[in-house]
Amino acid sequence: METVETHVGEPPGLSSSQAAHRLQELGPNVVPKPRPPSPVRLLLGQMVHFFALLLWVAAVLAWVADMPELAVAIAVVVVVNGVFAFLQEYRADKAGQKLLELMPALATVLRDRHRRQIPVHDIVVGDLLLLEAGDAVAADGRLVSVTGLALDESMLTGESTTTHPSPDGVVHAGTYVVEGEAAVEITATGPATELAHIMALTRTASRPPSPLAIRLRRVVRVIAGLAIAVGVAFFAVSLVLGMPPSDGFLFAVGVMVALVPEGLLPTVTLSLARGAQRMASRNALVRHLESVETMGSTTFICTDKTGTLTRNEMSVVEVWTPQGTASVVGHGYAPTARITAGAGTLPAVRDVALAAARCSTGRMVRSGEQWTAHGDPMEVALHVLALRADVDVPAEETARPLLRRLPFDAHRRRMSVLAGDVVYVKGAPDSVLALTSAGDDAVQAVAELAARGLRVLAVARRAATADDAGAPAVDVEQHLELLGLVALEDPPRDDVHAAVAACRTAGIKLAMVTGDHIGTATAIAREVGLLRDGPVLEGSDLPADDDALGELVDRDGVVIARVTPEDKLRIARALHARGHVVAMTGDGVNDGPALREADIGIAMGRSGSDVAREAADVVLLDDNFATIVAAVELGRATFANIRRFLTYHLTDNVAELTPFLIWALSGGSLPLALTVLQILALDIGTDLLPALALGAEPPSHATMRQRPSTGALIDRAVLGRAFGVLGPVEAVVEMAAFFVVLGLAGWVVGAEPSTQTLAAASGAAFAAVVLGQLGNAFACRSEYRWVGALRMTGNPMLLWAVAVELVLLAVFLAPPLSGLLGGSPPPAAGWAVALAAPVAVVLADAAAKAVRARSR
């Protein structure tokens, strides 16, 4: 029968009456749950943000100007857009509200000197919590008894390796027992636990406004300022022309409303939603729509190591024996990988693999064609080594049954088993080699393997004696024969090196920020190409001053190991203060504050905690760093697409404003070519679908060969194309169509055209703008290449949108809508001029791009 050594006897625990009194005094063992955002508040937030407010003002002004149809239409645009955005983000918030799943439902305690299972929320300070393999720790406490205890603390510390607390150490809520047993005297419950502290830190970290929000505010200011300036100017002109002040005011309001791009808000929202769908198809789940564009603006990525850059699967990569060295080809837990060793070395490798497996409880279990890992990842990797070496572990267990286990502890730093007539030992090389007659070659091998960032274990054995059944561990682990050394690693993902290189090409700085050992972190960073000339630091090396911290880490290829939650939070703040758009990855509870503080928090979907996923903006469904790069590319494409349809909308605004400008400059002697309702039909009718299609333009090959887009959405290039080239050409054709129809009907300057003539001329101008926007849509697909150089089927949505645009043109020019909008089908001459609009726009765009290309 197996015997297990313990260190300290267990105290009796609490009585039921003591536990009841403390529960009433201190409260239940429940981590405070943040109140989820109210659905009503979320919905209202979508209705009153900065862009929506601009449209609400436009709707009120339209109502004041006695244009109720326009006011209602604008209000509908705001409401429909708000509901759509609310539904997108509400679903994401609901998916993230699982903060308490780290806590087990039941726990085993010693009450009244009997083992009892009680609800976790009934645990109180002073309880004796009994733990065994597979249990989650339900509260913070002090260890009073341990038997081979191994903990997974990665959710709190960020360190991937299993820890072995000392007999008088402490454990924290949210960690897991990988193997062994323990008795824990509870010292803190509920809001007093370390888990609750980190969660509170997560909630206090403020989420900065996204780059898109900042840029859209600038767009709104530009549009609002332009609309007000033009409205005031037209009001002044109306007074000069002798119009009554009330009529002049209403006219000026109509012009101001006409200049507001009512279709821009739904276009932005739907473009972001389209980007979110694309990211989801690439395994990046977006929880906040604006995060789509923020990903594309990222200038600095702080990435974790385990599971993001690496596979999160320990693998034996090399076995050293006195007879020779063997290499293991292939990573992960697949038992089919090949061992490369000489004929004389392979038997020695099998001895090492057998001894290591017998000293481990982790196993790969086969069910049909599937292999599943159970237990500590490192010990699973040792069992996999035995499978790869064709060692029949079950047969050996039958031949030499386990009689005694001497568990690992922090003082000995090794573990041993008595199996039949053999004692097997594995542990830290320095602790095992000292008990053998190993020579300098073994010590040198340890140094060489450790220098490569590998985790090294020494494996030994000796023949058992009768005294080993009851002798102290220090006597059993003597006079050993060194079998060999096992080197393990958590290998990098196959596509990480290429992803790191893609970030560098895209002008994005990288830093590894991890809780792991500095040697392991450095080795992985060097292997994947992340480590450059940047410093290699530990969290304890970071300066206390935030400015100095920012200056220290603001460089490419930094490695920072052994970081705390507060360290990651400070790093995010320091980089943000230096003007960076910071993306921070993480998977543990400890990562929550930094994920919320960063401009873009990225959580792991497979291995991550619910706390991290709740705090993040983006969740990686495959935990892969390469997915971040794919999301950045899609985010950049979304930014470029927003600029495309902004150019498209602003071009239309030039054509919409021109009739009013000509009317004002002529002193009212030239009639208006477009009505306010026709402008509304352009903004949220014919223009909307092509703009949305431009928002779906796929990324170009140059997307990740450019620096991050940190500038304004509307800059000199956008304004130059819209107001200097595309808009004026479209406006010239528009007015030409209008005056050709008037002139052929016999109209002369200063005369009042008939209602029918004016309607036909206005219909020609309207058709010219719609058709000009058709050519504009294709021109806006690229900032640098002319339409003829683009593949027509590259954006199928645009082809469908243009087809619908032509149908809507026919609908708007036919009764009954023609009577409401103020335009009727133009004569043949009007159509002839209008049909020249798309050709003129495309040719002007091609000429401008050619001139710009020569000047670069």
Helices (H) and strands (E) in the chain, counts: 31, 25
Residues 6+ apart with CB under 8 A from 479: 435, 462
Coil, strand, or helix at residue 848? helix
Both tokens of 272, joined, read 């972001």
CB 137 within 8 A of CB 166: no
Both tokens of 121, joined, read 């929320």
CA dihedral over 566, 572, 575, 577, signed as positive or negative: negative
Coil, strand, or helix at residue 705? helix
Q: What is the DSSP letter of 697?
A: P
Among this protein's residues, is 304 annotated catalytic? yes
Residue 487 sits at the vertex; the CA angle it makes with 372 and 311, to the nearest 5 degrees, is 45
Selection from 328, 329, 322, 327 nearest residue 344 by Cα: 322
Selection from 144, 132, 131, 134 nearest residue 187 by Cα: 144
What's the rounded Cα separation, in Å, for the pair 322 and 676? Answer: 90
Selection from 790, 769, 793 nearest residue 781 by Cα: 790
The residue whose two tokens read 């079998």 is: 483
Which residue among the candidates 122, 127, 152, 304 is catalytic per the annotation? 304
Compute φ and ψ for 555, nearest 5 degrees. Answer: -155, 160
Both tokens of 460, joined, read 């030994």
What's the rounded Cα separation, in Å, for the pair 521 and 304? Answer: 10
What's the rounded Cα separation, in Å, for the pair 113 and 521? Answer: 46
Selection from 377, 603, 606, 591 nearest residue 491 by Cα: 377
What's the rounded Cα separation, in Å, for the pair 770 and 764? Answer: 10
Residue 573 sits at the vertex; the CA angle it makes with 567 and 578, to the nearest 5 degrees, is 125
Coil, strand, or helix at residue 695? coil
| Amino acid letter for position 444 | Q
Coil, strand, or helix at residue 448? helix
Radius of gyration of the chain (CA): 35
Residue 707 sits at the vertex; the CA angle it makes with 704 and 708, to the nearest 5 degrees, is 90
Q: Could you give the dihedral angle defined by the CA atoms of residues 112, 116, 121 and 123, in that order, rounded to the nearest 10 degrees? A: 40
| Amino acid letter for position 245 | P
What's the rounded Cα separation, in Å, for the pair 593 and 513? Answer: 14
Give the bridge partners for 382, in sequence order: none
What's the rounded Cα separation, in Å, for the pair 804 and 793? Answer: 17
Strands 114-119 and 106-111: antiparallel
| Amino acid letter for position 669 | S
Q: What is the DSSP letter of 493?
A: P
Catalytic annotation, residues? 304
